[in-house]
Amino acid sequence: MLTVTRLKRTFNKEKTGFQNINFSVDTGEVIGILGTSGCGKSTLLRVLSGLDPYYEGKITTDNSDHKNIGMMFQEPRLLPWLSVKTNISFGLPKEERKTNRYQTYLDLVGLSGFENHFPKDLSGGMAQRTAIARALITNPDVLLLDEPFSALDAFTKMQLQDLLLSIWQKKKTTMILVTHDIDEALYLCDRIFILKGQPGEVFGEVHVEKTKPRTRGDAYLSKQKAHILNLLNVQQRAAGGEA
């Protein structure tokens, strides 16, 4: 589906966001990009999305056609003057925006009945559900997610993780998730690339062998979490094994 070779992003002669990034993504995979703040995770996603074209290296796909890339940000970025249904349809070609295609995706994210509401009437979780529907309505080959649940409370965050997982089970959309949440990466992803350093580089790759859906707190996932913390050189507390 997607191959990245020797990718590097330099902002000026003195600052490099990331360098020597190499990985590939298979169709239907959920890939995690995990790392601490400042290692270039979000910059990498902007490069992959095409929003930032100023990079060195290669990004190739499995055919000569440009991939249809969907993008979700940390904030919903909804247009406040448009209703939920119009926000969802906004990325469609103009001739398709007035169809009821939005309804399928409204149902998919559990917002049926809210199509005529405006962003000011939505909770944070509902706003991100709307953003998920907007990102999916164009049927992207790859969906990029830049810490989409980081601003939500823990309970809402788990609900939306489960929603994302259920969408993947139905549509098998290829996804690349940037996160600093180890538990989130282990719950959702098939493989996780560990970035660290400034500039960021890939220091490890973790295969999550457990089938999905997974059980939060599973002993296998806890073991993998300890391994990731070791890769990141993060000391675990003795009590409870929490980072």
* pLDDT digit string, tens, across residues 151-202: 899 999 999 999 999 999 999 999 999 999 999 999 999 999 999 888 889 9
Whether residue 231 sits in one domain with residue 117 = no
Residue 58 pLDDT: 93
Residues 159 and 233 in one domain: yes
Residues 215 and 101 in one domain: no
Tell me what pLDDT residue 35 has. Answer: 87
User: Pick from 139, 166, 191: which residue ends a domain?
Assistant: 139
Which of helix, strand or coil describes residue 66? coil
Q: Are residues 63 and 133 in the same domain?
A: no
* Residues 154 and 242 placed together within one structural domain of the fold: yes
Q: Give yes or no: residues 146 and 237 share one domain.
A: yes
pLDDT, tens only, 116-139: 999 999 999 999 999 999 999 999
Q: What is the CATH number of the domain that holds 1?
A: 3.40.50.300
Domain match, 98 and 205 both: no
Mark whether 3 and 85 lie in a shared domain. Answer: no
What is residue 16's predicted lDDT score, i.e. its pLDDT?
Answer: 86
The whole-number average pLDDT for the span 66-82 is 89
Same domain, 94 and 181: no
Percent of the chain with pLDDT over 70: 94
Mean pLDDT of 44-59: 92
Structure confidence at residue 236 as a pLDDT band (50, 70, 90): low
Residues of the domain holding 127: 76-139
| pLDDT the model gives residue 94 | 87
**Whether 153 and 221 share a structural domain:** yes
For residues 103-108, give the mean pLDDT. 94
Please identify which residue in the block is written with the tokens 């409370």: 153
Residue range 43-72: average pLDDT?
84
Does the structure show a pLDDT above 90 at 113? yes
Rounded Cα gap, residues 99 and 96, in angstroms: 6
| b/e per residue 62-96 (b: at least 16 CB within 10 A) | eeeeebebbbbbeebebeeeebbbbbbbebbeeee
User: In what helix (H) or strand (E) does residue 174 lie, and over which residues does it extend?
Assistant: strand 174-179
Q: Residue 136 CA to chain centroid, in angstroms? A: 12
Last residue within a domain, chosen from 114, 139, 164:
139
Looking at the structure, do residues 218 and 193 belong to the same domain, yes or no? Answer: yes
Give the pLDDT mean for 33-51.
Answer: 90
Residue that is last in its domain, among 139, 156, 183: 139
Are 150 and 220 in the same domain?
yes
Which percentage of the chain shows pLDDT scores above 90?
Answer: 72
DSSP letter (8 states) at residue 194? E
Tens-place pLDDT, residues 212-225: 999 998 999 999 99
**At residue 243, does pLDDT exceed 50?**
no
Give buried/exposed letters for 212-240 (b at 16+ CB in 10 A, else e): eeeeeeeeebeebbeebbebbeeeeeeee
Find all residues with CB under 8 Å of 40, minimum gap 6, and list them: 9, 17, 18, 195, 198, 199, 200
Number of domains in the chain: 2
